[in-house]
Amino acid sequence: MPTIDDLSQRLTEYLEPDQINLVRRAYFYAEQAHDGQRRKSGEPYVTHPLAVASILANMHMDHPSLISAMLHDVIEDTEINYQGISEQFGQSVADIVDGVSKLTHLEFETRAEAQAENFQKMVLAMAEDIRVIIVKLSDRLHNMRTLGAMPPEKQRRIARETLDIYAPVAARLGMRDLQVELEDLAFQAYHPMRAKYIRRAVVKARGQRKDVISSIEKAIDNRLKMEGLQGSVTGREKHLYSIYKKMKTQRKAFVDIMDVFAFRVVTESVDDCYRVLGVVHNLYKPVPGRFKDYIAIPKANGYQSLHTDLFGAKDITIEVQIRTREMDAVASQGIAEHSHYKVYGDSDSAVGSYNRARKWVKGLLEMQERAGDSMEFIEHVKKDLFPDEVYVFTPKGRILELPKGATPIDFAYAVHTDVGNSCVSCRIDRRLAPLSQPLESGQTVEIITTPRAQPNMAWLNFVVTGKARSSIRHFLKNQQRHESVELGRRLLNQFLSNYGTSLEYVDPEKLGELLKEAELKSLQDLLEDIGMGNRMAYVVARRLKPDTTEEDTPTKSKGKPIAIKGVEGVVLQYARCCHPIPGDAIVGYISAGKGMVVHRTDCGNLGAMRDDPERCIYLEWSGSDKDEYPVVLMLEVESQRGIIANLASAVTEAGANLLKIDSGEHEGQIYKVQMDLAVNNRVHLAAVIKKLRRLRAVLKIIRP
C-alpha cells in the first residue's frame, strides 16, 4: 500500500520542498477528516485520495491539483465546508475541490436524467478550472481499479458510464494513457468473458509474434543509425477494448487485427520526424493513401504525429507512428502536460492541446446555454465525444476539424452560429453542392448566406455536430415562441374587442390573478399558451373583461377577422387537405400544442367544427403576393403523345412553379392527372387554369 512518504519522495523530482509540505499537510488534514470512514474494500478511506494524488503525480501535476486530490471528498463526506478549505489551503484549491465535489454523485447515479444533469455541472466546473476534470478523471481511474469491491450490477453501471462519458472526455482532452486504462478496466467489468477470451488470444499471439516484432524493430533501428538519425524504436501493444471495438465496428476477425504490427519512433525534432519518415519509406514500401500528417494538421485534442502504413516481408502490414518527445508526452497526457501546471519548461504542443481543450469547453458552454434540458445537452455532447475527424478548409485557407459525416451545415455552424442560421447553399471545391453532402478531408467549403434565411427543421436529419444541432433547435424554439406569442396576442385582442377593450387596457390585478392561478410567470407565457392552442383565447378574454361588461359570451366573433400574411411558420400552418391560397375565404382552426391550421371555409375536413367559436377563427389575407403557396389540381385528359410535357409547358408559361405531376388511373383513352403547383394567389391560379384549358386534350379541371 503506497504511503504519503512514498509520494513525497516521488514529488521531489519536480516540486519545491515547501510545495511538498503543503501536499503532506493536505494528506494529514484529509486523514483526520475521514477518520473512521472505510471504503467498500475495508481499507481506510484516506487511501483513496492518496491514490488519486499518486495518479496525478505520475502526470507531474502542480501542487494545488495534488492538494485538491487529497481533499476531493472532504466537502461531500465530512463536516468540513468550502470556507474551511479556503482558509487552510487557499481559494484556488477550494474551487477545484468544490468543482469535483459537485460531480461526486455521478459515481453512483443510474438514471439517465441524473447523469445528464451532473454532466452539465462537470462542464461548468471545467469552464472555471480545467484541473477539475483532470482530478475527476484520476478519481474515476482509481475507482475503476478498485471496482471489484462493488456488487456486479453496480460494476456494470459504473463501467457503462465510464465508457459513455469519462473515457471519451479523456480522449477529447488528449489524455490517451488514462483513456486506454479506463476503457480496458470498464470493458473487463462490463464484458468480463469477452475481455478474458481476447486477453488470452493476445497473450498467445504475442508469443508467436515476438521474433517478427524484434526483427522489424532491429531493421528500423539499424537503418536510423546508418543515416545518423537519433530515435528510439518500440513496438506498440493494442489494448483490449481497442481490439474489441475494431472487431465489432469493422467486423474484422481477431487474426486480421493482430496481423498488423505497430511501432513508434520517438525522435528529437520535427525536422527529424520527416527525415525518419523518408528512412522507413526507403526500408519498406508505403501503402498508398495510408499516410497521415497530424504534425502539420493536429487532431482536435492537440495530438501530433506522423502515421504511415508499410508493406513488410511475408505479407505483413506495419503501422509506424513518428513524433518528437514533446509530442509523445502530449499524446500520453494531453492537457495534463500543459506548462501552465508545470514549474519547468514550455511546450508548443502542450499549449496547443490546452488551447484546444479550452475551445472545446467553451463550445460545450455555448451548447449548454442553447439546449432545452440536460438530456438534450448530453445527446449533443456525445456526438462531439466520438469524433473521427475530417479536415476541411475555408476559402481563406483556415483549417476546421469536423467529425466524420459532417455536412456543409455543420461547417457553417463551426465557422459561426450566425453563418449557420443564415446559410442557404454552399460550394464545395468551387462547385455548388447539396447542404446534406458529407464532407471529405481536403475539401474547400464556401457557405452562401442571405439575411432573410433561417434554419430548416429538416437539417436536423443530417447534421452531426452538437453545436449545429443545438443551434438549430435553439433557433426553432425561439422562433416558435415568438410566433406563438404574436398569434396569442392577436387572438386575445380579437376576443377582448367583443367586450370593447384590448390587452393594453386590461386590469393588471386581474391579469396577475390569472397568471398566478395558471402558474405562469409572465404575460408572454400566457400569450404563448394561447398561440399554441393550449389555452382558449375566449376563456382568457372572459376572465380579463372589464367588470362593467355584461356576462354573456358571444357565440361569434364580432371583431374584424385576423389578417395573416407570409408563408408557413412554426405555429401557423396551411392545411394539406384543402391548400388555401390568398384570395380564398379562410378560417383558422386552433389545434392544441400545434398552433393554428389555416383551412378554406368550404373544406370538408372542418365539418361541424366550422361553427365552434372557441376553436375556429375567421381570417383574412394580408401582405404581398410575392410568396408562393402550394395548390393541387386534378385533371382529366385525353391520352396522346407528349401530353405531360404540354401540361408542364402550359404551367411554366403561366408563371407558376410545377412541384409534382402524377398520371394515375385511366378509363379507356382518358387519364386522370394530379398536378402540385406553387402559385401566388387565386388570380394567378385562374391564369394557370385558363392556360391549361386551351389545351385540346384537357377535358376537365378540378381544384379539390
- Distance, CA of 50 to CA of 489 (rounded, Å): 62
The grid coordinates listed for 194 are 469477452
Compute the radius of gyration of the chain from its Cα atoms.
Answer: 34
**611 catalytic, yes or no?**
no
- Distance, CA of 192 to CA of 186 (rounded, Å): 9
Cβ neighbors of 300 (< 8 A, separation 6 or more) are 172, 356, 360, 387, 389, 401
Q: Describe the crossing of helices 325-333 and 348-370 by its angle, rounded to 10 degrees.
A: 30
Helix (H), strand (E) at residue 495: helix 466-497
Strands 698-702 and 389-393: unpaired
- Distance, CA of 20 to CA of 18 (rounded, Å): 5
- Cα distances from 645 to residues 327, 648, 658, 662, 677, in angstroms, run 65, 5, 12, 12, 15
The grid coordinates listed for 672 are 386522370
The grid coordinates listed for 686 are 385562374
The grid coordinates listed for 183 are 476503457
| SS3 call for 572 | strand
- Distance, CA of 313 to CA of 281 (rounded, Å): 14
Write down the catalytic residue from 5, 13, 43, 76.
76
Cβ neighbors of 704 (< 8 A, separation 6 or more) are 578, 632, 634
Write down the catalytic residue from 31, 43, 77, 389.
77
Q: What is the DSSP string of 400-423?
A: EEEETT--HHHHHHHH-HHHHHTE
At 264, give phi and psi (nearest 5°): -130, 130
Angle at 430 between CA 428 and CA 433, to 5 degrees: 40
| SS3 call for 535 | coil
Cβ atoms of residues 498 and 559 within 8 Å: yes
Angle at 395 between CA 392 and CA 399, to 5 degrees: 35
- Distance, CA of 438 to CA of 428 (rounded, Å): 10
Name the nearest CA neighbour of 139 among 19, 45, 9: 45
Report residue 399 CA to chain centroid gap. Answer: 20
Name the nearest CA neighbour of 57 among 261, 327, 342: 342
User: For residue 307, how many other CB atoms are within 10 A of its CB?
Assistant: 15
Q: Phi-psi bin for 500: left (phi > 0), alpha (psi -120 to 50), beta?
A: left
Burial of 193 (0-12, 13-18, 19+ CB in 10 A): exposed
Which residue(s) pair with 427 in the sheet? 432, 446
Cβ atoms of residues 101 and 73 within 8 Å: yes
**117 catalytic, yes or no?**
no
Which residue(s) pair with 390 in the sheet? 402
Active site residues: 76-77
